Chain A
Amino acid sequence: MSLSKLVLRSMKKNMKHYYLYFFALIFSVTLYFSFVTLQNNAEVLATVEQSGTATAGFKAATYMLYFIVLFFVLYANHLFMKRRSKEIGLYQLIGMTKGLIVRLLAVESILLFLGAVVLGILAGFFSSRLFAMILLRVLEKEALVTMTFSTEALQQSIVVFAILLVIVLVQMAWMIYRVSLLSLFSAAKQADERVKRFSPLQMVIGFLGLIFIAYGYYASTKLFDINSQGNLTLNMIIILATTIGGTFLVFRFSVAFIMNLIRLKKNGHLTARDVLALTPIMHRMRGNAKSLTLITVLTGVSLGITTLAYISYYSSESSAYSQVPGDYVLLEDKGQEFLKKLEDNNITFDKSNFRLQSVSASFTQLLSESQQNKDNPLFGLEGIIYTIPLSDYQQIAPEASISDYDVILTNYGGYMAEMFPLEKDRDVVVTTGGLEGTEEETLHVKDVRHESIISGTVTSGPGGPIFVVPDALFEKLATHSGTSEWHKQTSIKIKNKSDSALAEKLYMQSNGEKYIESYEEQRKGNIETLGITIFTAAFLGLAFLMTTGSILYFKQMSEAEEERGSYTILRKIGFAEKDIMKGIYMKQAFNFGVPLIIGLLHSYFAVNSGWFLFGSELTAPLWIAMSCYIALYAIFAVLSVGYYKKVIRESL
């Protein structure tokens, strides 16, 4: 029989084993090709070019994606080879040289790759259209997506997967040359290795793992706390090292140890669940610890990235609002023409006026003792703070009341407010006036609030603090109105949401007149600068998620195969399918649940430590991103339960 014939025959025979590997390959090609196609799409390119960082972001993401794909395919190939170890052993037994076997498998792999690349590119071509639509949707661009087959993307994908093929072949050859004939036959059952006793030392090490993680979490909450001295980068590395190391120790030692305690307590009287979930997990932990750690960390990282990206996207509205608090904000009585146009078009709106007067003050006075150190950018800063009279403020907060020299500090928001909080119940000395002489007033900050009132243009950046002062005091301060850059802000609120589109159109006609600001324009601007980043982060997150999920699923598939013998025994001695499945549910809950839960925890603490740098909304984006992950993991868990069901049914 010639080599090619043998290859075809063995491929036909192995069809069942190939599914998994083939699917992994096609999936990788699809993901990669559609991403590259997307970058070469004319509409997307046109949109992207407006923001300079996007192209670089796309490039970086492509590399990331390639590494994900590389890792995924190598893992799948490894698993695939292990499954076929018996076959490879048989070839050797009948006298084939290792070189010949490598050649045989190489031909198979090349054929597989060819097939996968063709199918993957086809699938990628269609999915890239979907992704392009999603991207443009995210950017709120209305463009028709016409997909053209990009030869550039094709070339790039082919080159990249050719390199991947070479790597896979090297891995394969290495695996074949390295192992002995005997171990090939027993690769599937390594009971001797698996079943080991558990020592008290493991408990200590396992406990250490938990402490590491706890410490890492604790340190992460203090990461951006200005009080903690020390190097930010170093702290980050410490946190990463402790949490990742801790995760490994937990998987490697704690899990098995805790389970062993439970088991010893039962003194031999195990339930069906223990037999099917507890003991196999416990004995497999040694081998699975590394991959579970990797999966957990990847889950945590990708979820963290996705959440942060989503936070900035989700916060684009609120950060736009803190820049432009109102549908439209007019400064210094500009834009009367625009208001008239609104009236002409029967658009009703609320108008609230805020008189403005600047004072200058040292921010140090508003910082708590612990915040007064030189790492704080507000420390020693002499800055302009605007004041508004109480009567104007009451348009928003009618219940507010202050008298004499009491003031309310408000409008303070964003990450500055998170990292460098200002304190109430403090006296602040402010100065007004200019060249003709200055006056000092001592104000008492009665309350600190965070509502957005005044445009970021006035407070030099969104969310800058302002003082609400009693009217009498304001009049006094306003005698120096000449030194104030701004004197009046008019906030416009469109009453009817259905008029918004028309209002925006009218606004656009005013054609960039200074000192008229539109919330909608601001929000779109935000989305445009962030959109690409968010999209790529989400895309990578998805790729990570699919890979980790598939790997868990693949692992469970091969575990199910390895345990087929046990199921046969159990069914013979009178365990019904249902009894066995009960244990399997537990096992799957563990196998998918624990990496997911620890991953979620990791990402929660990672996100929690610095989310305010990315936006102003934490809860909703975090929950939404996490729910997506949980849902997708659940799908993989259900798939693997299905596979177990099949194996168990066939086992008798």
Chain B
Amino acid sequence: MAVLIGRKVKKVYGKKSTAQEVLKGIDLEVNKGEFVGIMGPSGSGKTTLLNVLCSIDFATEGVIEINGQNLRGMKEKTVANFRREQLGFIFQDYNLLDTLTVKENILLPLAIGRLPKSVAESRLKELTHLLGITEILNKYPNEISGGQKQRTSAARALITNPSLVFADEPTGALDSKSATALLKNLQNINESKKATIMMVTHDAVAASFCTRVLFLKDGLIYSELYKGDKTRQAFFHEIMHTQSVLGGDGYES
């Protein structure tokens, strides 16, 4: 079953004279339980695509449906509610609020909704256990490490049981050890909770944790790789190969 459907998604920045077409008509479908990676050289439109798909930005043309709901024509309030209830977000720079503790940050998306406290607590317990951040719940973001911050951010993204989690370069600011730990966590959650995840990355190692990787070039989908039954190592080499064909060096965002 498709959680996310994009049809002929186009995005143009700027006025007519200086218009720049960043997305030139992208078609994609993400099924429930998938862990999709989006790769591509800088300027290929990865982040723009993610922003458009997750309703933070608006597509100039095309149709985007999440769980059968069309994003176009929704009011600001409805979009916001939709984002809060259906989507989860993990950002490169964590985007935690400095003035809130880890626990408060994780429970933040529930601040508006009317979820019973007990349900929230049990979800929190499960997630923090999965992500290994039970010990730091009462700390402030400036008291914890980058990896812990990103795991907090992941917990926040998952606390609402979203249909779809968007991750924008989640490992971008992490050292390789924390990055691997986080990716393993995401993979784990993807498998155990059947969470659908869509991740933008420029890192082939990160992408190798996905079940499917899309390659973007100049605003179009250039190719697509499925992991299938391959080992992560083999999948990683396949990704590297595609990347070199693509011509980007892949080490910038």
Contact = CB atoms under 8 A, between A and B. Distances in A.
Nearest to A583: B111
A275 B80 contact: no
A573 B98 contact: no
A51 B112 CA distance: 65
B81 A573 contact: no
B76 A576 contact: yes
A191 B98 contact: yes
Interface string B78-119: 001111110101010001111111011011111110000100
B132 to A, nearest CB: 18
B77 interface: yes
Contact of A566 (B97, B104, B106): B97
Given A272-B112, A279-B99, A574 B142 contact: no
Contacts of A572: 56, 83, 89, 91, 95
A574 B85 contact: yes
A574 B99 contact: no
A520 interface: no
Contacts of A566: 97-99
A269 B110 CA distance: 8
Given A268-B103, A280-B99, A569-B95, A274 B85 contact: no
Chain B binding surface SS class: helix
Contacts of A568: 95
B103 A195 contact: no
A271 interface: yes
B107 A569 contact: no
Contact of B100 (A271, A275, A571): A275
B111 A577 contact: no
Given A268-B104, A269-B120, A272-B112, A576 B97 contact: no
Q: Which of B84, B104, B111, B141 has the most CB of A within 10 A?
A: B111
A579 B97 contact: no
Contacts of B117: 269
- Chain A interface size, as a band, is 20 to 34
Contacts of B120: 269
B156 A575 contact: no
Contact of B101 (A268, A272, A579): A268
B126 to A, nearest CB: 15
A280 B99 CA distance: 6
- Chain B interface size, as a band, is 35 or more
Interface in A618-652: 652
A269 B56 contact: no
A279 B97 CA distance: 10
B50 to A, nearest CB: 12
Given A270-B111, A579-B80, A283 B99 contact: yes
B137 A195 contact: no
Nearest to A571: B80
B99 A195 contact: yes
A578 interface: yes
A280 B81 CA distance: 24
Nearest to A195: B140
Nearest to B120: A269
A282 B104 CA distance: 15
Given A574-B81, A574-B87, A577-B76, A274 B107 contact: no
A573 B110 CA distance: 10
A574 B85 CA distance: 8
Given A268-B107, A271-B111, A578-B77, A573 B137 contact: no
Contacts of B80: 571, 574-577, 579
A275 B111 contact: yes
A569 B83 CA distance: 12
A282 B96 CA distance: 17
A588 B108 CA distance: 22
Contact of A574 (B83, B95, B103, B104): B83
Contacts of A49: none
Interface string A524-542: 0000000000000000000
B76 A269 contact: no
A268 B140 CA distance: 12
B89 to A, nearest CB: 6
A141 interface: no
Contacts of A195: 98-99, 140, 142
Interface string A257-281: 0000000000111111011000110
A142 interface: no
Contacts of A192: 142
A194 interface: yes
Nearest to B111: A272
A573 B81 CA distance: 9
Contacts of A569: 95-97
A590 B84 CA distance: 28
Given A191-B98, A195-B140, A268-B101, A573 B76 contact: no
Interface string A78-108: 0000000000000000000000000000000
B51 to A, nearest CB: 9
B83 A270 contact: no
A572 B100 CA distance: 17
A524 B171 CA distance: 81
A353 to B, nearest CB: 77
A574 B166 CA distance: 13
B100 A573 contact: no
Nearest to A566: B97
Contacts of A571: 80
A520 B99 CA distance: 64
Interface in A345-398: none
A582 to B, nearest CB: 9
Given A195-B99, A573-B84, A268 B137 contact: yes
A576 B77 contact: yes
A560 to B, nearest CB: 15
A268 B99 CA distance: 12
Contact of B83 (A275, A280, A282, A573): A573
B161 to A, nearest CB: 14
Contact of B107 (A269, A574, A576): A269
A293 to B, nearest CB: 22
B82 A574 contact: yes
A288 to B, nearest CB: 14
A572 B140 CA distance: 21
B80 to A, nearest CB: 4
Contact of B97 (A267, A268, A275): A275
A279 B137 CA distance: 17
A279 B111 CA distance: 13
Contacts of A269: 107, 110, 117, 120
7 nearest CB pairs, A to B: A574-B84, A576-B80, A574-B83, A268-B103, A191-B98, A279-B99, A569-B95
Interface of A: 191-192, 194-195, 267-272, 274-275, 279-280, 282-283, 566, 568-579, 652
Given A574-B81, A574-B82, A577-B80, 18 more contacts: A194-B98, A268-B106, A268-B124, A268-B137, A269-B107, A269-B120, A272-B111, A275-B104, A566-B98, A573-B84, A573-B109, A574-B83, A575-B80, A575-B84, A576-B80, A576-B81, A579-B80, A579-B112
9 contacts: A268-B104, A271-B111, A275-B97, A275-B108, A275-B111, A279-B99, A573-B108, A575-B80, A576-B77
